[in-house]
Every structure is written in C-alpha cells, then in structure tokens.
Amino acid sequence: MNTIVLLSSDSVLLGQLQAAFARQAGDMRVVLADSPEAQDAQVAACWFPPAGSLSALPNLQLVHSVAAGVDHLQSDPSRPALPICRVVDPAHRQGMTEYVRWAVLHFHRGFDRVFQQQRERTWQRHPQQAAVDFKVGVMGLGSLGAAIANDLAGAGYTVRGWARSHKTLPGVACHRGDEQFADFLAGLDLLINLLPLTPATQGILCHATFQRLAQGAVVVNCGRGQHVRVDDLEQALACGQLRGAVLDVFEREPLPVDDRLWHMPGVIITPHMASSASHDCIAQQVALNTRRLANGEPLHNPVNIDLGY
C-alpha cells in the first residue's frame, strides 16, 4: 500500500489534512511522523516540516509541498535531494485576485484615511481619483501575477508587470530583468509582490525599491516574509515615503505576539489568508502524484528548487 506521511508543526492543519485524505484518498495509508508506519512512507506531504523529519524517512521518494510555494521546506535542512512537487489549485488564483483587488481599492479609494477619520470623529471628503491615474505594479507574472495584472487592468488601473523573463499581457506594460527594474518601479502608487523566494529576490522590498516608488506609495506583500526588510519598511513608513503596507506573509508564522509589525503605524496584517488551496484539493493532488510515482509516470507540478517554482 502507498504510504504518505504528513509533516508539519501545525497540529490543526495536520488534523484537517488527515480528514481530507480520508475523504479523497481512501486507498492510501496516511500517517503522522510519530507513527511506526511513517518509516514506510514513499511520499512526505509538508508544510514547514520540523527539522530532521525528512531525513528520518528511509524509504522517501518524493517531497510534496501542500502549498503553491516550496520555500517553507527550508525549515528542515536535512531534506534529501529528492524530487519536489507542489499543489496548484485553480481556485487559488481567484482567491488571490480577490485579496489583491481589495488591497488596491482600500488605498485607491482612501479607505485607510476615512477609517482613521472615523476614529477621530472627523467628517471630510477627499477628491476621488480615477483608476487610470492610480499606477499599480505587479512583481511576478506567473499564473497568479498574470491573473491579478489582467484583473486590475480590466478594472481600469494603469498596470505594469515585472518578471525574470519576457512576458506579454494585454493592457499591461511588462518589464523584465534587472535592467528594467528601475523603470518598472518609477512612480508607482502601489506595488504588489508575488515573487517566489530565491537568493535573488530575498530582501527585494527594501530602501532602494521604496525610494523609486511615488511619494506616499503602498506595498502589498503576498510573496514571502523574507522579501521584506522590516527596518527599511519601518523607516519608509515613518518618513512618509510609504503611506501604508499590507502584509500577508511573514518570516515567522504565526507572527509572534511581541513582533513590532503588529503595532507599526500604516501596516495592515492578515494571517497568511490571501488565498490557499482547499484541503480536499491538496489531498487529491498529493494522492494523484503518489499513484503516478508508484506507476513510474511523470509527476504533476514538479518544482525547480533553485527557481522556487
């Protein structure tokens, strides 16, 4: 029988995944790391696997992220050099598009200002800005970034996109590579990050990036927490270079209760909820790849770990 071991430090998620596998993959044995049967596992389904957990599995043949990203696998430095796959949920694109659309509207229409006015009991109308005059940039033009850029362009915003390689999207001014990064950033009112985490993108949301945006710009980070240099963010908010930031991802999750980001003026924190694959979708895709592995068939959604996707 095919055996899948679930590896995560999130006990709630483990229970949810166990229930989903019971519904979607009854032909498979699905166990936790402390089960003796984990030693037989060919596949590890992971979300921030504990350090040393992957190397403790002698029969492992595939490491499977239960998310679209794979950088969380770095939480276990013992990970052996095995194939890696990820989950790609078509509904994930819709959820992320909704989240980013909300963030853009929140600042484009000035809801951040009127919410502050409500706390101060101030009645003041601000001039309404046309969407075409609000310049939005999307970093990362994969399936999620392209969908978001297209959605915002369709809503009338002036949209630019930036990616490692050449992309073409209708209604979006696409830029690529280091040589076009400064032109991409110049004068943006809102910057959205959807990049994978790689050595080249770590810390990309930094002083040099913020300084190229319009005065009083906004940053929305749906990539990874390590993309943000928190000291630079705090400084940019304090001096007014940035008006606000929406952060959905963090270097440590859950965000510790004593983290300064909780109280940083201008920062909106959401608990990694921009979008995620459903538990049933995770179980279906991991089970399918487990069957394909056993049959010697090509795996779905393989990952180049150096590129991060």
Range 52-56 contact pairs with CB under 8 angstroms and sequence separation of 24 or more: 52/76, 52/78, 53/7, 53/78, 54/7, 54/78, 54/79, 54/80, 55/79, 55/80
- The length of the chain in residues reads 309
Active site residue 224: yes
Strand partners, 269: 247
> What gap in Å lies between CA 71 and CA 86, rounded to an integer?
11
On whether the CB atoms of residues 54 and 63 are closer than 8 A, the answer is yes
* Per-residue CA distances from 10 to 72, 85, 145, 234, 286 (Å): 13, 20, 28, 30, 18
Which is the catalytic residue, given 29, 164, 272, 292?
272
Asked if 159 and 149 touch (Cβ cutoff 8 Å), the reply is yes
Out of 64, 92, 93, 224, pick the active-site residue: 224
Rounded Cα–Cα distance for residues 217 and 227 (Å)? 17
- Catalytic site residue 272? yes
**Catalytic positions, written as ranges:** 224, 272
